[in-house]
Amino acid sequence: MPEMPGFAERIKQHDKLALEAVRAVLAGRGIKLHPSGGELSPVLHKELRFIGNGTSKMLRYRPDQVAVIPGKKALLLEIKSEAGGSPNFSVELDAWEAAKIWNRNGRHVLYVFADLKSGSVFGAWPEEIFPSRIFVPRSADLKRVAAYPGVPVRRVAVRGSGTAFFLVKKKNLCSLESTLDNLG
- Residues 114, 79: contact at Cβ < 8 Å? yes
What is the model's pLDDT at position 42?
Answer: 77
* Nearest residue to 116 (alpha-carbon basis) of 12, 7, 3, 8: 12
Polymer length in residues for the chain: 184
Q: Which of 10-14, 60-64, 129-133, 155-159 has the lowest mean pLDDT?
A: 10-14
What is the model's pLDDT at position 41?
Answer: 74
Q: Which residues pair with 34 in a beta bridge?
A: 66
The pLDDT tens digits of the residues spanning 140-176 come to 888 888 889 899 999 998 766 788 999 999 999 999 9
Q: Which fold has domain 7-181?
A: Trna Endonuclease; Chain: A, domain 1 (3.40.1350)
> Would you say the C-alpha torsion 38, 61, 168, 124 has a positive or negative sign?
negative
